[in-house]
């Protein structure tokens, strides 16, 4: 025993350091050097066993090692779980001796965010002893204002359970699993849909164990791209509007032009305006022609949509060329089923979900701005 110069056969057990012995203690070995004062390990009665048995008992050493490895030294390993000491409980009454893994949330490195969709990933992990992860919670928040780097004001938010809401099929239209753990991979990948374009979102992830404890949170903040536009279609509509406005415009043609422009939405209307002025401005600028042909009231209803976008998106929509790209995402479309989280085998989850989920493909649209060589 370091710094203690006695041996005893009295029933006692070795514990952690509780401080220094007083100089008057005859059982302590005091070093002569003032630069290296003695700091003996004090002994405390915790179990009726002679010291020599504790030193030579392999079972005791094994138990102490297992407790240190899996239960932070504050509990005993019972089969594959930790029985925590009475001092190892949090203010919420939940045991804390078995440390929870900390899942790290990240954006997919393969699938970039679209204007209405992001793909999130994290790795599932749990130790073989001490902790059983039974669920993950994902909170989605719309960030309405970022006043400074230290404060984020949020608007709408929702919390989804990976087990109860996503793989059970209860809320699959807007949150769908793209990848789940199997024997070869521990990655969990989620597709989050139904997002607003040109909007900041914060996603926060927690792991949940079988006692109800939550892990430390991990978050990702992402801004969705500007709304997607079909530039070829916008050019066609600009040509159509020119033909309707050209020469005498009947009441029917006026109504057709009005209905066409009103149904476009702000992003496409910006591109129609751009193409119209690029090709037909010599016959009158677009906003002036709308007011002249449709009247101030109807023209005002149409043109008011132009202010619905941010200055950033307005700038991109004035690019000479906007191409439309498509990509495919595979996901699991799950029928509603009741999942029992406490019987969940994460390494076989991919196999188990084949009973209630069907692999499907989702088409995702993106815009590329400016002239690019492909």
**Residue 245 CB neighbour total at 10 angstroms:** 21
- 100, 127, 135, 147, 251 from 71: Cα distances, Å: 11, 11, 21, 43, 81
> How high is the pLDDT of residue 42?
52
Residue 275 to residue 29: CA distance in whole angstroms: 92
> How high is the pLDDT of residue 347?
85
C-alpha atoms less than 13 angstroms from C-alpha of 104 in its C-beta half-sphere: 2
Tokens 């970039």 -> residue: 112
Residue 103 to residue 214: CA distance in whole angstroms: 11
Q: Residue 28 pLDDT > 80, yes or no?
A: no
Residue 289 to residue 281: CA distance in whole angstroms: 10
Element (H, E) at 237: helix 231-245
Residue 367 phi/psi, 5-degree rounding, is -110, 140
- Residues 146/202, Cβ–Cβ less than 8 Å: no
Burial class (CB in 10 A: 0-12, 13-18, 19+), 287: middle
Q: Residue 22 pLDDT > 80, yes or no?
A: no
Q: Which of 63-72, 120-129, 209-218 has the lowest mean pLDDT?
A: 63-72
The pTM score is: 0.74
Residue 28, both tokens: 């302590």
Tokens 């066609």 -> residue: 236
Q: Which residues does 140 contact at the CB level (< 8 Å), separation at least 6? A: 157, 158, 159, 160, 192, 201, 202, 203
Read off the pLDDT of residues 104-125 as tens digits, 9 standing for 90 and up.
999 999 999 999 999 999 999 8
Element (H, E) at 286: helix 286-294
Read off the pLDDT of residues 324-347 as tens digits, 9 standing for 90 and up.
999 999 999 888 777 665 567 888
Q: Residue 354 pLDDT > 90, yes or no?
A: no
Residue 144 to residue 157: CA distance in whole angstroms: 11
Of the two residues 330 and 36, the one the predictor is more confident about is 330
C-alpha atoms less than 13 angstroms from C-alpha of 22 in its C-beta half-sphere: 2
Q: Report the CATH superfamily, name and number, of domain 105-145+155-226+328-366.
A: Immunoglobulins (2.60.40.10)
Q: Residue 300 pLDDT > 70, yes or no?
A: yes
Domain ranges for the chain, please list them.
53-99, 105-145+155-226+328-366, 231-308
DSSP string, 28-85: BPPPS-TTS---PPPEE--SS-BHHHHHH-HHHHHHHHHHHHHSTTSEEEETTEEEE-
Element (H, E) at 190: strand 187-192
Ramachandran region, residue 41 (left: φ > 0; alpha: ψ -120 to 50; beta: rest)? beta
Specify which residues 176 forms β-bridges with.
191
DSSP state for residue 342 in the 8-state scheme = G
> How high is the pLDDT of residue 93?
75
pLDDT confidence tier of residue 135, bands split at 50, 70 and 90: very high
Radius of gyration for the alpha carbons in the chain, expressed in angstroms and rounded: 33
Residue 274 to residue 66: CA distance in whole angstroms: 70
Q: Which of 19, 24, 76 lies closest to 43, judged by CA?
A: 19
Residue 168 to residue 334: CA distance in whole angstroms: 7
Average pLDDT over residues 217-222: 96
């Amino acid at each position: 025993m370091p710094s203690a110069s006695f041996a005893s056969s009295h029933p006692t057990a070795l514990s952690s350091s509780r401080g220094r012995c007083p100089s008057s203690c005859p059982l302590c070995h005091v070093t002569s050097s003032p630069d290296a004062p003695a700091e003996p390990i004090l002994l405390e009665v915790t179990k009726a066993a002679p010291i020599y048995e504790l030193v030579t008992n392999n079972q005791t050493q094994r138990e102490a090692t297992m407790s240190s490895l899996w239960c932070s030294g504050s509990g005993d390993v019972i089969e594959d779980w930790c029985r925590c000491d009475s001092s190892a409980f949090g203010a919420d009454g939940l045991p804390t001796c078995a440390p929870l893994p900390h899942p790290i949330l990240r954006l997919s490195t393969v699938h970039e965010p679209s204007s209405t969709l992001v793909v999130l990933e994290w790795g599932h992990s749990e130790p073989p002893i001490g902790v059983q992860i039974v669920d993950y919670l994902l909170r989605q928040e719309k960030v309405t204002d970022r006043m400074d780097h230290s404060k984020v004001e949020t608007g709408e938010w929702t919390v989804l359970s990976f087990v109860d809401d996503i793989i059970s099929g209860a809320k699959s239209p807007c949150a769908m699993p793209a990848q789940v753990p199997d024997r070869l991979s521990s990655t969990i990948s989620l597709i989050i849909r139904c997002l607003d374009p040109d909007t900041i979102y914060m996603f926060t992830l927690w792991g949940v164990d079988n006692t109800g404890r939550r892990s430390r949170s991990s978050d990702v903040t992402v801004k969705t791209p500007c709304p997607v536009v079909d530039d070829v279609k916008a050019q066609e509509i600009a040509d159509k509007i020119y033909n309707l406005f050209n020469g005498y415009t009947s009441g029917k043609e006026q109504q057709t032009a009005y209905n066409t422009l009103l149904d476009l939405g702000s992003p496409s209307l910006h591109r129609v305006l751009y193409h119209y002025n690029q090709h037909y401005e010599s016959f009158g600028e677009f906003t002036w022609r709308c007011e002249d042909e449709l009247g101030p009231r109807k023209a005002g209803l149409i043109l008011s949509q132009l202010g619905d976008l941010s200055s950033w998106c307005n700038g991109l929509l004035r690019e000479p060329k906007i191409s439309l790209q498509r990509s495919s995402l595979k996901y699991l479309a799950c029928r509603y089923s009741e999942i029992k989280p406490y019987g969940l085998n994460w390494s076989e989850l991919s196999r188990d979900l084949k009973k209630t989920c069907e692999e499907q493909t989702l088409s995702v649209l993106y815009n590329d701005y400016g002239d690019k060589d492909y």
